[in-house]
Structure 1
């Protein structure tokens, strides 16, 4: 079937934009050229961005040619920076430069930072010198720091300005700056002196001096090297729409807005979950197969090693298992319940660490409490399991073994579920990094050893 004959979706007459399903049907039908230019322009940039991540770079360019420069910038800002960088690198030089200039400075920096160094120099040499310098400064900061995610589009005034002068100044910035929540007051050297909110400006008299109405007791001021996880905690603590970012000399460098923090929270949450399971922190379903395999394989090899260790424990009791096969039947039950109990503790502890609600002096108390919780759960679950084995299998001696083994195994699992992330944090490592794998390995080994050891001692 030719491209012109390929079927593509007929959207309802009341719809003036495409849904993601509509766009995917165009791609599956090889009918991207049949997209309606005005309709794609009205489609949410987020939707278009999600669609483009599923396409090869040449097809992405086909879609983006239907949009003006501002539209392209909006779509790219919604995409992963690596995908956006790949698109811009494939554009003609003149168009790529215009897009970079249309993006917010922080978005430009994120995208340029993911480009090959040669492409960075090639594009920034043609970008507006002021914007190029801003981008170079932003990409010099660590990617996961306040400096790496801030925007330099900040409304500033000297303390000598009147309210009228400040409002007139904001009018000139309205089209250039996306977010103006606060006006930051600085001295001639750029040092942060205070802030004025939009409410303060509205309520003040036009002849009032900014220095007289500004707030000088500043809260939520971030150092440029503050880790992005700490940024989210500060934003949550103060409930501000924006946080100022300064250097070590208190010179104002930029600000971080609440929408930036939402992105960070989403990124951190997904990264922690994926790392806990041994996948790449920023891995997605659309990544190249070889890249995903490369990221996952090392942790699977660690998992293989731990599985051999657990298998080695079982092999020590091979003779006992051959004499009493009920041990083989009940063995996975103990290990499975231990792993689940540890997983519950692990999830709670990692969340607590992420929220900043844990201090080093809390470690002993947390370990004892979590081991106690798991022990009590082990008594309840172990009793039910023991009754089930005794009633259904008529092995009351095995019931006693499984009851005691369940308590010991689950108590250890609760302890390990708290100890592993706390230890990783103490070692300055990510508490979420493959903690689930380490937990599963240790609970399997302990569960098998305890159950088979008790079973051999009591039954044989």
Structure 2
């Protein structure tokens, strides 16, 4: 469903184009104030490159930064190439360190080197602090510009530090602040509601709350942060090293893009492609990303063709077998993909643990078997109705039995694939889509013709 604010942004596009042509910048600034930045990013492609550059320059500092983060990497790169170094320095000044790092990960290396050279000494130090952690780790997303509070501060002193930090956008929007000792070790957390209601001369040590289990390691995968926030629903969590020293924080607002990124990546893998394709505009780039994933499908279908050729003597005797082969292959492929996708989701949100593998295996295999029995009776009955006794009384039995075995084995394959990948430390999402479908096609075809050969010839 399209939001009303997005529809409003679309309505303003023709007017903005006309005003840009007339160079009526004052009126353009007034209109831009009434359009949300995410909606402006959604209609960004409707403007020419020159119009995009002019619009971007008309945005105020922080708004320009926020819009820049909403744009696709190709649009970001165009803006960077259009701005003078002085303008880029102003843009970089409005980026928080973690925001700058996220941009660096998306841009071409040449652009990153140029931007990095424009950073001030202190900015480089902060950016380097985040860049030392792997991409998609907790450390690469954490906020490191924090309000420093110690237990011996009074409420009034703490509030003064928070007000000063908020003017510099440090700790902006937080509802809680971590309290550390002189060695930067976390001793607790104090919430804004408590600071507001506490007497001004009361020490923080008198009402800080323990942090307990809510903590993250900077080297953890970002999925661990998603799980923590999904399960415990905190407003924020500290990122600490092995000595409990506070390195940064992740809050609920930071989790939204993390979830979006993980979902995009997993869906792309399940579809048999890469998440980069969803961000790419080039047809050639999309082809290069898809091509390797389709090699497995191509090889698999060649093997299926060879299997059919190998059993051509069965088909030549019972030609009606060919009419039911697509059904058996399709049912096996679908139930296998269902099992793998359900399992991948359960593993991602930690609904299942790898220690439950035998329980999962038995449960999913049983589901595949019983579904196979139901559909085996249906398709076997159809074979009996269509062909009667033309190919002997065992012909419907072969069709039904092949359906049962194919769907059971396909479910087993759909479960074993993700579980095996988890065991060796590979993302289980890669076991879905074309890979599982191809495997079940090969197994289903082999089972079908072997049963036909044993029971009908």
TM-score, normalised on structure 1? Answer: 0.89
2:275 to 281, 292, 301: 281
Closer, same or farther: CA 86–280 of 1 in aligned 2, 3 Å: farther
Q: Which residue of 1 aligns with 2:210?
A: 216
Please show how residues 127-146 of structure 1 align to structure 2 within 5 Å.
Answer: 127-146=119-138
CA RMSD of aligned residues (A): 2.5
- Relative to structure 1, is the Cα distance of residues 107 and 423 closer, same or farther in structure 2, using a 3 angstrom cutoff? same
Give per-residue Cα distances to partners, 1:372-424, cap 9 Å, x unaligned. Answer: 11000100111111112212332553221111111100000111111101111
When residues 196 and 69 of structure 1 are mapped into structure 2, their CA distance, relative to the original with a 3 A threshold, is same
Matched with 2:396 is 399
Other-structure match for 2:436: 439
- Report the Cα distance in structure 1 between the residues aligned to 2:46 and 2:132, rounded to whole angstroms: 30
Aligned-pair CA distance for 1:20: 5.0
The Cα shift of 1:174 comes to: 2.4
SS in 2 for 1:131: helix
Q: Which residue of 2 aligns with 1:97?
A: 89
1:361 equivalent among 343, 355, 373: 355
Matches within 5 A, 1:366-405: 366-395=360-389, 397-405=394-402
Residues paired across the two proteins, number: 445
Query: What is the CA-CA distance between 1:30 and the residue it aligns to?
Result: 9.6
- Residue 326 of structure 2 is aligned to residue 332 of structure 1: yes
For the residues of structure 2 that align with 1:195 and 1:82, how far apart are their CA atoms?
Answer: 41
1:370 and 1:343 map into 2 onto residues whose CA distance is 12
Which stretch shows the higher mean deviation, 290-299 or 427-436? 427-436
Q: 2:160 aligns with which of 163, 168, 172?
A: 168
1:108 aligns with 2:100: yes
Matched-pair contact (CA < 8 Å) for 1:82–1:114: no
Deviation of 1:348 after TM superposition, in Å, equals 1.1
Residue 292 (structure 1) aligned to one of 286, 297, 304: 286
- After TM superposition, give the deviation of residue 78 of structure 1 in Å: 2.3
1:36-67 CA-to-partner distances (Å, cap 9, x unmatched) read 33212321111122333677765532331231
Cα deviations by residue, 1:346-382 (Å, 9 ceiling, x for unpaired): 1110011101233332112211111111000100111
Q: Secondary structure at the match of 2:43?
A: helix
Give the Å deviation of 1:245: 1.1
Moved more, 197-206 or 350-359: 197-206
* Distance across 2 between alignment mates of 1:245 and 1:53: 38
Change (3 A) 1:22 1:456: farther
In 1: Cα distance, 2:117 partner to 2:445 partner = 63
Structure 2: gaps spanning 5 or more residues:
none
